[in-house]
Structure 1
Amino acid sequence: MHIGLPDQGCFVLRVWNPAVSGPSVCYLRDGCIVDVTSREVATVRDLLEQDDPAGWIKSASGEAICTLGELEENSVERPDPKLPYFLAPCDLQPVKACGVTFVSSMLERVIEEQALGDPTKAKAIRGRCETILGDSLTGIVPGSDQAIELKNALLAEEAWSQYLEVGIGPDAEVFSKAQALSSVGWGASVGLHPMSRWNNPEPEVVLAVNSRGEVKGATLGNDVNLRDVEGRSALLLGKAKDNNAASSVGPAIRLFDGTYSIADVRKAELDLRVTGEDGFVMDGHSTMAEISRDPLDLVGQAYGTHHQYPDGFMLMMGTLFAPTEDRDHPGGGFTHKMGDIVTISNSDLGALVNTVRLSTECPPWDFAASHLMRNLARRGLL
C-alpha cells in the first residue's frame, strides 16, 4: 500500500503530529514530511486563502517530522498514536458532493430508485431502462433545449426520474457529504452503515475551494454509496451519505501551480481496484472527459451569492463508476464485504487506499472544530 505521488507537483498533507498532540499542515519535500504550521497558516483552510498557496508552501520553513515511508507504515487502519499518521488533507472545510454527473451512474441511480433498494431487481430494471433510453443521454448538455425535449419524451413514456432531473436538468445535485474534520485519510478504515446490504465505492476527483470560490487544488475521494438506503427513498440521502468514516479524502491536495491546473482535472483518468479477503478483485475506470457538467460549473452551483463558505469547501464531483459485476451469484450484482481494500488512483494525484469496515467498528470521530481550536490555542497558533 503506497500513496504513489508523482515526483513533480506541490503536495500539501495533514498529519497527526504526536509532538503537538494535534494535526499539522505538512509539505512533501524530498521524501520527507515537513511541518510548516505557523500563525499565518495554522490550517489547510488558511493555506488555501493565500493568493498563491503553492508559492507560499514551497518557500515556507519547517521541520521534518518523518519520512513518507514511515508515515505510510504507521497509517494503515489503527495507527500507533505515538507516531505520525495520515489525516484527510482538508480540515475546516465542509465536504460537499455532486451526484448524477455521469450518464452511466445516472442510469444506475434510476435503477436504484425503481428497485426500491432491492439488488435482486436491478438486472431486469437495467434492461428495461436501456431499452427505453438507449444512448439517448449521450452528449446531452444539461439544461439545453435538447435535454428539455428528452424530458418531455420520457414523461410521455412514464420513464422520468428525479435522478434524470438533476442529471440533465439545469440544476446539479449538490449535497453535504461530511462535516468539517470528519473525513478520514489514506490508510484509514472507511465506514458502511450496518443497515446497508447493497453498497459500493464511488471514486471521485475532489476540488479544494477557498472562501472566494477559487479552486486552489485537487485530490481524490471515496463518496461511499449505500445503494439500498438511497434507493428506498431519496429523502434518506443524508442517512446514506453522512456516517462515521463514510467520507475518505486524500492522500494529499495537489496545489495548482505551473505543473498542474484545472485543465488537468478536466482530463483526469481514475482507476479503481477492490480486493476482497475472499479473493474477489474488481477493477474500474473513470474519465473526467465524460462528465456532463464542467468542474467550474459545479463549483458555481455550490458557491455564490446564494451560498457562502467562509472556510471554503471540498467538492466531490461525482463518479462514472457504478458496478454491476456479480460477486456472489448471478444477478446479485456487487456489494462490499468487510475487509475489502479500495484503491482509487490517478497518475497526477496518487492513490487513496482504505479498508472497508462497518461505521460502528471504525474509530469514532472525536476530534472536531472545538478540539482543533483548543489545540491550536495551546500551541500559540491563534
Structure 2
Amino acid sequence: MHIVRYRREHDATARVGVRVDGVVRELTAPSVAALLHESVADIRDLVAAPGDVVDDARLLAPVDGGTEVWAAGVTYLRSREARMEESSEADIYGRVYDAARPELFFKSAAWRVVVDGEPVAIRADSGLDVPEPELALVINRFGEVAGYLVSNDMSSRSIEGENPLYLPQAKVYAGACALSAGIRPAWEVDGSDLTVSVRVTREGVAVWSGATSTARLKRPYAELVDYLFRADNFPDGAVLSTGTGLAPAMDFTLRPDDVVTITIDGVGELTNPVVVGKEHFDFQRP
C-alpha cells in the first residue's frame, strides 16, 4: 500500500488516497499534512478503511501544506569520499562524517517538489551535476516516522566543491527535489536494510548505475530525526532525505535529456528526465 495525493481529471482539488496494486481509493483526510498531524497509530487506522475507487487519479507530489523537505549530508562513507574528492575544503566533510552532530539542511517547500515522471533540473551555471538517490523519512508532527519515500536530492558538485558555504545554491533551486508518488507506510516495511539502486540512461543507454543498502547508513534514523526536531517544530510534519551512498566518479555529469531512475526495494521507484534551468518550472503556491 502507498498513501498518495491525486487530482481527478476534471477537478482541480488535490485529494488524498491509498493505492494498492495500482488501484487508488479515496480517503477522508483533506491533505497529507492533515494526516501528519496525527500519531502513527491514528494514521494507520485512518488508511485502513479507504472509500470508493478513483478511476481517473493523476498522482501528485506526496507533500502539501506547510510540510517541509529537509536532507542529511555525509551519512554514508561513499558520500564522505565523494565530497572530499570534489571540495576545496575536503577536511570539513571528513570531520562532519565523524562528528556527533549530523549535517542537516533545508531542501524544499512542499509546493516546489516534483514527482515521478516530471523533470528534474541542473543549474545553468553549474558544470558538474549529479543525482543523489536517497531514502526519505516521512515524519509526523510528533517526530514519529510514518513512512518512506524515494528521493532524488539533485546537486551541483562544482558549486558545492568551490566553497562549502555555497551548499544552499548547490542543493536548493527549481527542479532540485524529486520524490516518489506514494508514501510506503512504515508499519509495512523494515527500513533498516533496503537496497537503493540508480540508473542514468542517455539516448537509451545506461551511462551510470550503482546500488547500495540503507544498512550502510552511519547514523540511525532516530538520531537524524532527533536532531531535526531538537530545536524546531513541524506542525505539518516533515520529510527528511537521509543522504546518499551512491556517487559517480568525478568525470561524470548529468546532461539534458538524461533519464534518472531510482529504485528502493519495498518503497518504490522514481524516474525523471533531466532539463537545464528554471524556465521549465512554473510552480504555483497553493
In the superposition, the TM-score normalised over structure 1's length comes to 0.71
Partner of 1:14: 5
What value does the CA root-mean-square deviation take over the aligned residues?
1.7
**1:225: how far off?**
1.1
Residue 336 in 1 paired to residue 226 in 2? no
Q: Letter of the 1:322 partner, please give it.
A: A
How far has the Cα of 1:110 moved from its partner?
1.4
Partner SS, residue 110 of structure 1: helix
Q: CA deviation at 1:50?
A: 2.8
**Structure 1 residues 280, 28: CA separation in 2 closer, same or farther (over 3 Å shift)?**
closer
- Listed as ranges, the matches of 1:117-266 within 5 Å are 161-257=91-187, 259-260=188-189, 264-266=190-192
Q: Confirm whether residue 25 of structure 1 aligns to residue 13 of structure 2.
A: no
Pick from 85, 109, 112 the counterpart of residue 58 of structure 2. 85
- Equivalent of 2:218 in 281, 292, 311: 292
Aligned to 1:275: 201
**Matched letter for residue 31 of structure 2:** T
1:23: Cα distance to partner?
Answer: 1.6
How much does 1:171 deviate?
Answer: 0.8
Return closer, same or farther for 1:30/1:169 CA change in 2, 3 Å cut-off.
closer
Q: Provide the rounded CA distance (Å) in 2 between the counterparts of 1:246 and 1:187.
A: 14
The answer as to whether partners of 2:9 and 2:58 remain within 8 angstroms in 1 is: no
SS at match of 1:220: strand
The CA deviation at 1:347 is 2.2
Q: Which one is further off, 16-25 or 341-350?
A: 16-25
User: 2: CA distance between counterparts of 1:311 and 1:89?
Assistant: 13
Report SS of the residue matched to 2:81. helix
In structure 2, the residue corresponding to 1:187 is in which secondary structure? Answer: coil
Percent identical pairs in the alignment equals 29
Count of paired positions = 283
Q: 1:102-125 deviations in whole A, cap 9, x for unaligned? A: 1111011112113x8xxxxxxxxx
Larger Rg, first or second structure (1 or 2): 1
AA partner of residue 55 (structure 2): I
Amino acid at match of 1:342: V
Structure 1 unaligned regions, length at least 5: 1-9, 67-83, 117-159, 325-331, 372-382
**Larger relative helix fraction:** 1
1:65 aligns with 2:38: no
Cα-to-partner distance string for 1:6-50 (whole Å, 9 max, x where unaligned): xxxx211112334331321121145322232x3xx2110111333
After superposition, give the CA deviation of every residue in 1:278-337 in whole Å (9 maximum; x if it has no partner).
734321112111111111111111112x1111111000000011101xxxxxxx610001
Q: Distance in 1 between matches of 2:168 and 2:270?
A: 24
Quick check: 1:56 aligned with 2:58? no
Aligned to 2:114, the other structure's residue is in SS state coil
TM-score for both structures, normalised by structure 2: 0.93
Unaligned runs of 5+ in 2: none
